[in-house]
Structures are given as structure tokens and as C-alpha cells.
Structure 1
């Protein structure tokens, strides 16, 4: 099978396995993290997450909240994790999946080939395209957290990686519809992750104001208002399309509850609040 090699190992996170595990564990135990390592013993419950994708030293503690909650809803059965991320590179198709194996410093993660094949064959706007994923980081940075949970024997994962260059409302809604449809038809245990950062390079006060708007929309399951607010208030949230798709899929799969797990900015890490990036972890179930 094809292998998708890491594009940002050594930049967004360590390329050495021991260093990477140490950093991931530090993210869980960080003052901005959940302050606890994930443990075994979860009971599966379908859930969706908003999770950031910056370098681990910046957004890792916030991302750890999502994976801590995910670990509590996993059992050591095979779970398909659908990861939707924005396409920052401009390479490849407008919306695409790849059926490659994803290599991480902690080991490989396999694709859910049956789910992927159904998605690109049934959903007309989704292509099977490796190029869009080749250098994109938004999906890749989620995978070491998943692989770390495998190493802890908390769960076994396969993935469906969806890269979205086009994030129009109707496109995102259609992607979410087909994710839910195929998950039901295949009877899969699934988690759905929308990989996104929030405001980019705004002063802290403005970032907090703008981010509070989109966080409220997500918590209210309001995909349309999220789309409208991003454009009306010029909010530089890079993965609003993936987030809309995740919300729609989770609604179709029966989700009723939402919770803000954590919010912070890069300024809370660096101490420089003049131009920050916002990060949130949000749970939908």
C-alpha cells in the first residue's frame, strides 16, 4: 500500500519517538492541559471534537483535552476516526481523501479502506487524491495523539482523512451528510475530529471576542450561524468547513450535548499578546 510520510515531524512536533511521547505527556500534564494522563477502561460513546493543529508547544495542551475525553469514550475495539482538516497548501483536489497508510514517529496508522471507498464514490464532491494530503499538517498533527492512545492500549484506530480546500457551506453540509450516512450503513464505531485553529494573529482581546462567537455557534450546533459569523466578522478560523461538516454529521448521528473543554491562545504560552492564535477543544456527543 501507499505510505504517507510525515511532512511536519521535527517542526510541529518531535520526530524522535521518545521525545514525542514525552512532549505529548507534558501536554496532558501542562497547566493549560487536562492535568491527567489518559487511562484504560473507557466505554465507547460516539463523539465529535473540535481540536487545534498548531505546533505542540503552542496548542498541544489544549488539544490534549480532546484526546483525554476521547480516551474516556473509547474501548479497545477498532474505532474509525474521521479527521477533517483545512487544506493550507492549495495542492490537490477541493475536497479529498487518501487511502494511504499514515506513518508517524510512533508507528503507522491504517486507513479505513471500506469507508474511504464509499465516501469518494458516493459523495460527488470528494476525490481520492494523495496530492492534497502530501504536505498538509492539519490532519497529520492529530495522529501522534491517536497513536499514543494505541500505545497505551486504550483503543485501536483506523482513520478517514478528509482535506477540505473548498469550505463553502453547502459543500461542508454534504460532506457531513455522507460521513453520517456511511457510518450508519457500515455500523462503524466512529469519532469525528474537526481540526482547526481559531483567530490568527489578532491582539488577544480581539481574538477572544471573535473566538467567543464561533465557540458559541459550535456549542449551539448552529452550522449556518458559524458560517455567517466567520464571514461577517472576518474571523480567520482556518477550519470552519471541517467544523461545519463535523457538527452536521454528529447531529445526524444523534448528538444532543456540547461542552467547551478548553480555550487559550498562543499568547497564554508565549506571553506575547500582541498577535495571537486562538485554540479550542470542544466536545459534541
Structure 2
């Protein structure tokens, strides 16, 4: 298939994905049930710490955050963009007491489609993927709200398109919180969602650009609405006055849809944005599928809650359309 035109490759891949799923229209809604028998369930590791462990409390917390996010606020922008036009989102992954309102402001702007591809940073330092791109390829991610199935067919298609640059690596995911913390917002917004979760362990533009191209090809090949979700906090553990300036510099690159400049700026100006590589790859993919605009819908830092402005972590919600 290496020498085939791109449109022919896309048609062939789309046909193979549909064949593997056995999609004849009537089976689309029952597809989630097939994932459980084909893979491992990844249990929650930060329930009770980053967000409530009790299912009823968690659902109520997220629902309240989303409802509040849909109301205009003086300190943050009012929702303007059409929800159906959003191609990608950047959302934070800290404890909900700190970053929950910001994540909610981002998710409130999105009509969550059936498929979400999540790109997260590697906080643990554990990575068995030689490429630095770790995929959980099947099964499900569990939260107190239930299991979120991994779309095994799309994950397989992603590996095929990437030439196996995207590698199966459960070890990178097992104790990584940056995917898990996003899931309750997705679950409350849409019950039948499927995910393709990636954890990224490099910090350079060229692999980010390549991954962006791969994801854009995947979205074109599978032929269904797909949301890209980059999980990231902003600058870490500096005084608020410094952190706010660094966060603004990083967000300027994000709103310019310039992943290369984002990575260069973070390195040059020592901006410790943990998910800069996932965001850069997401920007590359979003541009390749037609995105032209990125809007910061919320910004705040941990000092707003803790009152400690000596060492803050920044959070932003960004929608890309």
C-alpha cells in the first residue's frame, strides 16, 4: 500500500475498519459491547484524590461544573462558537477543585462526538514504546461512572497508518492520570462515547508534526466525526506574577495554531507546560483537518483556590474550530 494514492489508501482503510466492526448500520450502537472481550480494563488510579470516588457525587460535581460553565461569567469569555464546529479541545487535568471549572468551560463548548482521541503527557517517566507514543489499544478505561470503551478498530487503524510508530504500551498508561481525569466530563456529556488514548513521552516538533499528520489521515480514513483532546496544564510552581506571563506566552502560540512555536517558546522561555507536546501534535492535526481558529475560553491558576500565589499551576481551556 506504500505506493498507493492517499485517497485510495483512505478508502481501503475505511473499508477494513468497517469490515472489522461488522457495521451494517444496525450494529453501530452495539459496538461498545464488543470492546470488553478484546482487551484489558484500565482501573481508575486518582479517584478520591483528583475527583470524587462516589459515582453519585462525581456525576453531580461534573454536571454542576458543566451547568455553571454554560452561564456567562464576568471573569471569563462567554460561549460564542457553535458547538458542532469544534475540531479539538485543550483541557487541564489537575484536581477538580483547581481545574474543574476550566475543563468544564472547554467541554461545555463541544458537542461530544462518538469518538474522542486523547493525547496526554507522560508524567510517570514510564514508557516502553520506542517511539515515545504509547497506545492503550482495546478494552476500556474505568471511572466511578462506568467503563469508557477503547475503540479497538480505530486504534488498530491508527497503528496501521503510523507504520506502527504508534505502539501498544500499557505501562505508560497504568499510573498516568492525564487521560483519566478528562473522562468523567466526557461521560457526563455523552454516554456512548469511545476513546483512543495516547500518552506521549517526547518533547520535539518533528515527531509532533508527524503524529499530527497521522491523526489527520486517521480522521479522514475512518469517516466519522472525531474530537481531538489534548490534556495539559500550563506553567508549574512559580509565583503567580511570573506564571501568568509565561502562560500568556504559551497560549499566544496555541491561539496562533502554531505547535512548532509553542514547543520552541516553552524551551526558550522555560515554560513548564506539561502537555506541550500533546498540544503541539493536536494543533498540527487540527490544522490538517481544516481548523482555522483557537479560542481560550477560560484561564485561571491554582492560587485562585488555594490563596497561595507563591507557587501556582496554570490552567486553560481552549477550543479549536
TM-score by length of 1: 0.90
Rounded to whole Å, the distance in 2 between the matches of 1:46 and 1:27 is 20
SS in 2 for 1:91: coil
How far did residue 34 of structure 1 move? 4.2
2:96 aligned with 1:91: no
Partner of 2:53: 15
Q: Do residues 125 (structure 1) and 161 (structure 2) align?
A: no
CA contact (8 A) 2:237 2:313 kept: yes
Q: Residue 272 of structure 1 aligns to a residue in which SS?
A: coil
Residue 157 of structure 2 corresponds to residue 101 of structure 1: no
State the distance in 2 between where 1:207 and 1:216 align: 14
Partners of 1:46 and 1:190 within 8 A in 2: no
Larger mean CA deviation between 97-106 and 115-124 belongs to 115-124
* 8 Å Cα contact 1:176/1:245 also seen in 2: yes
- Whether contact under 8 Å (1:217, 1:225) holds in the other structure is yes
Instruction: Provide the C-alpha distance between the structure 1 equivalents of 2:49 and 2:83, rounded to a whole number of angstroms.
Output: 35
For 1:144 and 1:201, the matched residues in 2 are separated by 26
Pairing partner for 1:206 from 220, 242, 257: 242
- Deviations for 1:160-185, whole angstroms, at most 9, x for unmatched residues? 10100112211111111111101101
CA drift at 1:188: 2.0
**Which structure 2 residues correspond to residues 21-32 of structure 1 after superposition, within 5 A?**
21-28=59-66
What is the match of residue 49 of structure 1?
89
What secondary structure does 1:69 align onto? Answer: coil
2: distance between equivalents of 1:230 and 1:169? 12
User: Paired residue for 2:287?
Assistant: 251
Higher strand share: 1
Q: Structure 1: which 4+ aligned runs deviate by more than 4 Å?
A: none
**Alignment-derived partner of residue 114 in structure 2:** 79
SS of structure 2 residue aligned to 1:159: strand
Matched, 1:150 2:186: no
Shift in Å at residue 46 of structure 1? 4.4
Stretch deviating more after TM superposition (11-20 or 42-51): 42-51
8 Å Cα contact 1:53/1:197 also seen in 2: yes
CA–CA separation in structure 2 for the residues paired with 1:259 and 1:265: 18
Q: How many residues align?
A: 269
**In structure 1, C-alpha distance between the alignment counterparts of 2:70 and 2:251, rounded to whole Å:** 19
Aligned mate of 1:167, from 195, 198, 203:
203
TM-score, normalised to structure 2's length?
A: 0.80
Q: Which residue of 1 aligns with 2:103?
A: 63
Please state if 1:110 is matched with 2:149.
yes
Separation in 2 of the partners of 1:109 and 1:22? 18
Q: Which has the larger radius of gyration?
A: 2
Q: Contact 2:161–2:217 at 8 Å: present in 1 too?
A: no
Q: What do residues 161-215 of structure 1 show as CA deviations (whole Å, max 9, x unaligned)?
A: 0100112211111111111101101102111111000000110010010000010
Match of 1:39 in 2: none
Measured in 2, the distance between the counterparts of 1:180 and 1:122 equals: 10
Counterpart Cα distance in 2 of 1:48 and 1:150: 16
Q: Which runs of 5+ in 1 are unaligned?
A: 37-41
